Amino acid sequence: MAKIHSTSDSISGTVQWFDSIRGIGYIKTDEGNLVFVNYTDLPIKNGNFIVLKTNQRVIFDITIGSRGPQAINIQISN
């Protein structure tokens, strides 16, 4: 996948929804666009992928995946 945004200009957004069983969901950018998220692009903490929660603020980059725009390099905002 080719990254279309680098970490130096990461995008902010809010988790629209995330299904922890299926490991997929969507993040809504601050501009209002929906971006697909897959658990394999989430950071690992204590040996497990983190789980995103609805309305959680995140920072991420975007690449083009098989489902269109996809979030990568996801970090939880403080």
| pLDDT tens for each residue of 24-50 | 999 999 999 999 999 988 888 888 888
- Phi and psi torsions of 69, nearest 5°: -60, 135
36: domain CATH number is: 2.40.50.140
pLDDT digits (tens, 9 = 90+) for 54-73: 999 999 999 998 889 999 99
Number of structural domains in the chain: 1
Domain of residue 71 covers 7-76
> What pTM does this model have?
0.82
Neighbours of 62 (CB within 10 A): 23
**Considering the domain boundaries, does residue 68 fall inside one?**
yes
Report the distance separating Cα 51 and Cα 17, nearest Å.
11
CA-based nearest residue to 74, from 61, 63, 65, 64: 61
Check: CB of residue 2 under 8 Å from CB of residue 64: yes
